[in-house]
Structure formats: C-alpha cells, structure tokens
Chain A
Amino acid sequence: MDVCSHAVRVGEKSGADEVEAVWVKDVTTTVEAELGQISKASKVWREGLRIRVIRDEALGSFFTYQMDKNAVKTAVEKALAAAKASKKDEHWDSLPHPGKYSPVDVWDSTMEEMDPRELTEPVCEMIQSLPDDIAVHAALNRITLLQRACVNSNGIEHEDKGTRGRCGMRAVGKLESGVTPVFNEHQFLRTYNPDPQKIVESITTKVNLFRHSDTASSGKFQVILSPRTLEILLYFTLFKAVSGENTARGKSLLAGKEGEKVACSQFTLHDNGIVKEGFESREMDDEGVPCQDTPLIKNGVLQGFIWNDYWAKRMGVASTGNAYYDDQNNEMSIQQTTMVVNPGDYTKEELFNVKDGYYILGLQGAHGSNPESGDFSVVCAPAYRIRNGEISGGCVGMMLSDNIFSLLQKIDAVGREPEVVDVAVLPHVRFRDVNVAAR
C-alpha cells in the first residue's frame, strides 16, 4: 500500500490530474510431471507496480517491476509522457471513487508455509495410481499467493489477497493404433485440499468409457455439455456479448434487450466476483472497484451486463467491478470474474436419460468462434455417444455447429450438481436440437 500511496503523491506533484497506482505480487510454486515422472519444480515471483495517470482527459500508463523511489518517479514520468502523447477522450469522467467492499475470505494460510516436497506428493500419487494403459501427458500441483493494493487520487485505498491451488493432469488412453483425445481433469482450489485419487478415478473412468468406440452421425441431437465444456463455450461467445463495452459500441446482439427473454426459463447466470469457491473471486477489480455478484440472466430473462468504471460512467450506469488488467497483452479491459450458472433439478441419471445423443467433455477451437454473431463451430473432444440412457462409447471427429443465442433457447435440463472449473461454477446442462456434423 505504501508504494502505491507514494506513487500517487509523486503523480499529483508531477502535474497529473488523476493518478492510480496498483501493486501486485504473485508467488507461484509448481511441481510438474512429464512422461510419467516428476520433471520440474519452479517458483516464480512476479511483483510489479502499475501506474495510470490522466492529464487533460488523456490517459497514460506504465508498468514496472522495480519498486524503489527512483523507479517509481521514472514510472510516473513515463506514464505522464504517455498521457501527454495520447488523445484527449471527450467522454472521460474520472477514475473510480471509493466503494463498499464485500469481504471475500479466499486466503489459506497453509499455502504460505508449504514446502515443495508437500507439493510433489499429490503429483506422485496421481502418476503412480494410473493404470499402464493411460499415459500422463502432463500433471501438476500448483499454489499461488496473490496480493494486491490499489490507491488512487479519488480516495480509493484498498488491498486484498487470495490463494489459489490447482492440481490435476492431462492424460491420454493408449489405443491399438494411436491414442484417445486428451482428458483434462483439474481441481481448482482456494483452500489447499487436493484429492489426487478423485482425479485418477475420474480420468480412468472417462478413458475406459471412451475405449468402447461408437460412431457419430450428423443431425440434430440432444447434447449434454460438461461444466468445463460449457465454461469454454460461454467464455468465447456469451461473455463477449454481455460486456458493457461491447453493448455500448454496437458489438453485441444483446444490447438493449434487458428485460427480454434470451434463454430458457431454467437458465440463470451470474457473474459472481465474490463467490467463495470462485477462482477469480476477490474484493476489488483491477481498478479498485468492489467486486460483486451481478445477475446477468434470471430465469431466462436478460438482467444486465458487466462493466468497468469507464464504460459504466459513459453509459450512465454503475461499474460491476469487472475491470481486468491483462498482464500478457498489457491492456485494461472488461472481463468476467466467476461465471455461475444456478443449479437445476436434474440428477445425473435424469440428465443422461437420452434416447440418442451426445455427452461432450471438451472442445477444440472455441476461441475461433464469432462472438458478434454468436456462431460457433467446434470439434468435440472428448465426446461420447449416448444411446438409450447409457454412454455407448467414444466418438472421434464430430463437430457442434450452432449459435450461442439460439442454443440458450434450447436448454432442456440443468443439472443439480455444480462444479468449479477454472473461472466458472457450473452444472451439466442438456440442450435439444443441437446441430451435429460428423464424418
């Protein structure tokens, strides 16, 4: 917090109209296995300071990994130089103002003290417990300690912290000729309680079910999407359409449809930045605005969108705490926190009560979807055929080609057991009349 306050003071003295300083520190320890043996242990310290300044309604930003006073001064000067060269934004209002933070207890102190040897144990257990006819492509156990502080010249002064754990593997089943698609099984944890046996059992069951091969056929079918599959699809399609910026810029087919039915009644979707088990849950977003639980679709009716502070003010609404700094692209944007689909009434047995359909565990190519039109055309891998309520075998080379907005109108069952998968908490969902293309 001190380095942020110092940076804001330096910025104000240097002539900035507004200043924001965000300090981030992530420490990630990972143990990884390749080809059935532990191959590597690593620890990465990433600590940096991001400064945004506004001068004459133009914005400039600088990120540095150096935190001493000289480095901070240089960073402020560089950010100001960027702002000076940038274009005046006639829609600029202000940096965010203080808000009320919901406490989010996502810090597990046992992860602070963890010895790398402890991290190797679940990885060893996973690779040693797998049967010989399943090959581990990669297994890992990872913990991350995240700490952040945000101070700005409008009075925001807040810090938060969280821990994350990820344990799992990617594996393939060996076949007489070649291998199965990759089976991906990971546990996403905010408190450290990996269950390697559960991962092994799940992968083994799924691979063995796949070995009884079946064929896919083209047509319209009932299709069950696993939580992981649904997350990938929503991420690359629907969550671009609920971005406030995209609605404001005419890039979303959902713009102006608040209050309208956009999905089946059993579908309720939130962006929940404070749900305890959410991998992206935290107290504030990347510009210090409180994270919150934002209803997006309730019983099929569109409720609203996700916003950062800039686009919210520009459109006369309140930020939903979805500002996101993409460290890889060095870009501030709007992004989901944790996508939450409310569980429905269906048991797994009831969901799989399908005469002829498919069960999809993963997708290839969802990132090539067209978020504007909502069209997607993806390979399903791994995928199973369902016949008469039973999984009859694995299918290779089948595709789903449909549209996310029409797909939401074809939900016919929502599972009652949600799972935490990466940035989502979702149940299985079954759709009807989904367009399947097969070889």
Chain B
Amino acid sequence: MFETLEKGIKAGEQKGAEYVELRAEDVVLTFVGYSDGRVDNLNVKARSGVACRVLYDGTWGLACGMVTDTETLVKEACSLAQAASVTRKEKIKLQEIKTCEDKTTQQYRMPPHEVSFEEKISRLDTLCDLIKNHDKRIKAVSIKYADSHGFKYLLTNEGTKITQEMGHVFNYCWVTGKENGGLTAARDIIGSTEEGFEYFERETEQKIAERVAHRVVLQLEGNPPKKGSFPCVLGPRVVGTLAHEALGHLAEADLTLNSSFNGKLGEKVASDMVNMVDAPIKGTFGASKYDDEGVLMQRVDIIKEGVFSGLLTNREYAHKTGMPLCGSARAESFLYPPLIRMRNTFFDKGDHSNEELFEGINFGYYCKDYRGGQADLNSSFQIGVQEAFEIHKGEIGSPIKDLSISGIATEALFLIEGVGKELGFEEGYCGKGQRAATSSGGPHVRVEKGAILFGGRG
C-alpha cells in the first residue's frame, strides 16, 4: 500500500503542495438487518479507497477515490486547492507535530470477521426471542448488527507513516409495544471500537433484552410529563448526552469560534463542582491510538472546577487558536475529510451519594436514558429522554413517556448542584456532516429548577 501512496506524495510535492496527506483504507463491513425473526439484510461491503488531502497556497484541496488513482487524485486535489485559494487572504497553517512511524493492532479475543454469519444470526434469534418473550405487549422487534475489520494507512510528506488496525462491533434494537390501541417504542444502542465479538459475552442478549423491553413497558405505562422547569436528577446516560450536546460540540474548536462560548476560555461557565473531559478512554466507543492526522489521542479537560479550560482541536485549529493538539481529527471513511470530533465525553465524578442527589426534591424528574440530542451554536441543547420517572418527596415515582428536555448551556451549567460518585457511559454515533463513533457519560447529576425546560403537554 505505502509504495502506491509514496508516488502520490511525490506527485503532490512536484505540484508545489505545502502539505500532502494520503489516507487509505481497506475495510470489510458486515451488516445484518433483522426483524421479527427474519433476516431482511445480510450485507457485506468491501470499502477500499484513498483520500488525498493537500494544503496548497494556504487552502485545502481534497480528492477521494480509488487507491490505484492516487497520483491523479493528488494532482486533482492540488488543482482544486489552487482554484479555491484565489480569494483567501489568511493562509491556513498547521500546528507542527512530531511525526512517527507506527503500526497498531487490535487485541481481539474473537475477531468479528472470523465469527461466522450463522453465529451472528443465531445471536440475533436469541435476542429477538428474549425481547418478544419479555412482555406480551411487545409487538415488533427490529435489530441492526454491524461489525467491521480492516486497516487504515496514513502517509504524509512530513514523515508520518501509520498503519492502524481498525474494527468495531455494534448492536441497535428498536422495539415496538402496543396497548389499548396505542403504540410506543424504545431503543438500545451499544458498541465497541476496541473489543471483538467477545463484547457480547459482557453485553449479553439477556442484558440487552431486559434493558430495551423494560424501556418499552415503561413507555406504555408512563404518564405524559408536565411542561415547565423542575428540579431533576439526570442519570449517567443522559448526563453523557448533556456533556456531548451542551458544551462538547461547542468545545470543538471549529464550532467554538462562532458560538456563545467564544472568548470564554479561562472564564467560569459552570458551577464549581463541574469537571468535564473528552478523552480516549480505553474500551469505549470511538477511541483509537491516533487520529486521522496522525496525532496521538489525548485527554482534554474542557471544564475544570467550573472554568472553561480546553478545546478539541485538529492541526489547523490548534495553530489558529493556540490550543494544544489532542488527536480529535476523525473521518468517517476515505470519502470524507477529517473533522474535529469528540471521542469519549463525560462529566467527571463528584462526591454526592445518590441518596443526597434525590434528597429534598418535592417534585421533579429523574431522567435515566436518552433518545438523541442536538446542539446549536447559541448553546441551546435538546435531549430526547426515553426512560424517565417522576420524583416525589425524594423518591422515584411513576414512569414518564416521550419526554424531551432542553436548556441554554451558558446558563444551565451554573445550576448543577450535585455530582455523584459513580461513572457510567453510553455509546452511539454523532452526526456532524459525517458519522463518528462516540461515547459519553458521567455520574448522576442534580440540576436546579430553572436550568432545564421539560417539553411536556400536561
């Protein structure tokens, strides 16, 4: 592979590019779509190609296609950058890095690509049966299983030469329940970019089935939420989404500069007890040794004791902002350029017991599990909640259905008044023009009335 890529590097240098980066991949992906006992898709994809990115006259050029066309693609990338550079006044510059040559490997016990299709389907049969048998009100089960395995190759004219073995396993359930003519649904998403099929020895079919079926039942039995602002306790999976949406995105340096958090580095943005981190946590979804610019993934303390302290950067924005590199430049595949992305974003633990967090709440909500979220540059955030309960006099009460919460992060983060002791995480995909595996989490967190708006109808 690298012999072919070397030719592309030379072609770029001959054209006068300041920086030439070739990112090739050779990955096989398996997807099984499964519904109600039927395999409706068993698809395998061989994804192979190269992204040729150049910095030419201070402007990016990118051409993506087949590895066999590398030299042509590099020349095309130079021409594209040249055409785009005409009006650019401030030339893009990259933060310098210490280049390296490395080869990383995955430590699978059960490499997903070596597990037979039959075994993968058998697991889905078991999972589907367990979900359906959990409660007679469960009417439909849709499951998506995916895995991948392959290699990514990175070569730059600066001397970076990295081969990373890559892969993932992923399981998504969407389950429908029906009662008295009404329908509802709940989901479960899990995955790992580090473990192989052995991941499902820990995340067993029984565990997944119990989780998702229970959520459906709670949805069926739940009451509509009230609308307005209430004190609340957020569970780790919702706290993670809060970390991701409320400030995580706006700490991505390419978003920060046009956001409500611009200029707030070093300022207080949250209550003293808030510490928020983005880091490549071993074993979680979205972590690897290097990012797609060949930078080692490193921890970023986004909030330290309530003070906005760090940004996620790529080489361009590290140079522009003066913030350190952290290895956050990630691309979905060879068809996309690397973007600044979160890896594993979480609120760090505090010192409140769960009992203390619920204590004294006369009426409020406990939000335990999420269903999607979204952020805006003005720091408005929204989190869909698929598992929630009322809190009455400090005790967890009746379930709530189809809740959604929102707030303005520049205000809400100051109203966090309790942080628990035990961390939990959730996994998923983040969409920012392209898809990236991420995980997020935290401990239980208590938030004052006034921070979060509950979008209910009652």
A396 close to B62 (CB less than 8 A): no
Within 89-129 of B, Cβ neighbours of A (below 8 Å) are at 89-90, 92, 116-118, 121
Tell whether A37 is near chain B: CB-to-CB under 8 Å. yes
B84 near A45 (CB under 8 angstroms)? no
B40 — which chain A residues lie within 8 A by C-beta?
Answer: 59, 89, 310, 332
Point out the residues of chain B lying under 8 angstroms from A135, CB to CB: 258
Which residues of chain B from 57 to 96 have any CB-CB distance to chain A below 8 Å in the complex? 59-66, 69, 76-77, 79-81, 83-90, 92
- Could you say which residues of chain A place their CB within 8 Å of the CB of B35? 249
B271 within 8 A of A: no
Query: Does chain A have a CB within 8 A of B10?
Result: no
Contact of A250 among B178, B371, B453, B454 (CB under 8 A): B178
Q: Is the CB of A120 within 8 A of B87?
A: yes
Instruction: Specify which chain B residues have a CB less than 8 angstroms from the CB of A381 in the assembled complex.
Output: 376, 378, 380
Determine the distance from Cα of A172 to Cα of B60 in the docked complex, in whole angstroms: 24
User: What chain B residues lie within 8 Å of A367 (beta carbons)?
Assistant: 372, 374, 384
With both beta carbons as reference points, the residue of chain B lying nearest to A375 in the complex is identified as B402
Which B residues, 32 to 74, have Cβ-Cβ distances below 8 Å to chain A? 33, 35-36, 38-49, 59-66, 69
A38-B88, A42-B62, A124-B87 in contact; A365/B48 too (CB < 8 A)?
Answer: no
Task: Name the B residues within 8 Å of A252 (CB-CB).
Answer: 183
- Closest Cβ of chain A: how far from B255's Cβ, in Å? 8
B84 touches A38 (CB 8 A): yes
Q: Kindly provide the distance from the CB of B319 to the nearest chain A CB, expressed in whole angstroms.
A: 13
Q: Which of B217-232 contact A (CB under 8 A)?
A: 219, 227-229
Q: How far is the CB of B94 from chain A (nearest CB, A)?
A: 13
Known contacts A251-B140, A375-B401; is-contact A43 B80 (Cβ 8 Å): yes
**Which A175-217 residues sit within 8 Å CB-CB of chain B?**
177-182
Q: Are A330 and B146 in contact (CB under 8 A)?
A: yes
B406 near A117 with CB under 8 A, answer no
Query: Chain B CB within 10 Å — which of A31, A42, A66 has the most?
Result: A42
Contact (Cβ within 8 A) A38 B59: yes
- Segment of A79-87, A95-103, A352-360 in the binding face: A79-87
Contacting pair A61 B257 (CB below 8 A): no
Is there a chain B Cβ closer than 8 Å to A41's Cβ?
Answer: yes
| Residues of chain A contacted by B144 (CB below 8 angstroms) | 329, 331
Q: How far is it, in angstroms, between the C-alpha of A63 and the C-alpha of B45 when the chains are bound?
A: 4
Contact assessment for A116 and B80 in the assembled complex, using a CB-CB cutoff below 8 Å:
yes
Q: Are A396 and B408 in contact, CB atoms less than 8 angstroms apart?
A: yes
> What CA separation (Å) do A401 and B254 show in the bound complex?
32
| B117 adjacent to A37 (CB under 8 Å) | no
Residues B453 and A397 in contact, CB atoms below 8 Å apart: yes
A182 touches B76 (CB 8 A): no
Q: Does A46 contact B (CB under 8 A)?
A: yes
Which residues A61-97 have CB closer than 8 A to chain B?
61-66, 75, 78-79, 81-83, 85-87, 89, 91
Smallest beta-carbon distance B280→chain A, Å: 24
How far is B26's CA from A66's CA once the two chains are assembled, in angstroms?
Answer: 12
Nearest chain A residue, comparing its CB with the CB of B67: A65
Q: Does A130 contact B (CB under 8 A)?
A: no
- A439 near B382 with CB under 8 A, answer no
| Bound form: Cα–Cα A397–B66 in Å | 47
Separation of A35 and B69 alpha carbons in the complex (Å): 32
Is B254's CB under 8 angstroms from A377's CB? no
Q: Is the beta-carbon distance between B80 and A179 smaller than 8 angstroms?
A: no
Q: Can you show 23 pairs from A to B with CB atoms below 8 A apart?
A: A29-B80, A34-B254, A40-B81, A43-B77, A43-B80, A61-B41, A61-B44, A64-B46, A65-B49, A87-B121, A116-B79, A116-B84, A181-B380, A249-B139, A250-B178, A310-B40, A328-B435, A375-B402, A377-B455, A379-B381, A401-B404, A402-B457, A437-B227
Interface residues, chain B, with chain A CB atoms under 8 Å away: 29, 31, 33, 35-36, 38-49, 59-66, 69, 76-77, 79-81, 83-90, 92, 116-118, 121, 139-140, 144, 146, 176, 178, 182-185, 219, 227-229, 254-255, 257-260, 262, 332, 335, 337, 370-384, 401-404, 406-408, 410, 435, 453-457
Top-7 shortest CB links A-B: A368-B384, A377-B404, A368-B372, A85-B117, A178-B260, A365-B382, A377-B455
Besides the contacts A91-B38, A332-B43, what 17 more A-B pairs have beta carbons closer than 8 Å?
A: A39-B59, A41-B62, A42-B64, A42-B337, A44-B65, A64-B45, A65-B47, A65-B49, A82-B42, A89-B38, A178-B410, A218-B228, A330-B45, A368-B384, A370-B184, A379-B406, A399-B453
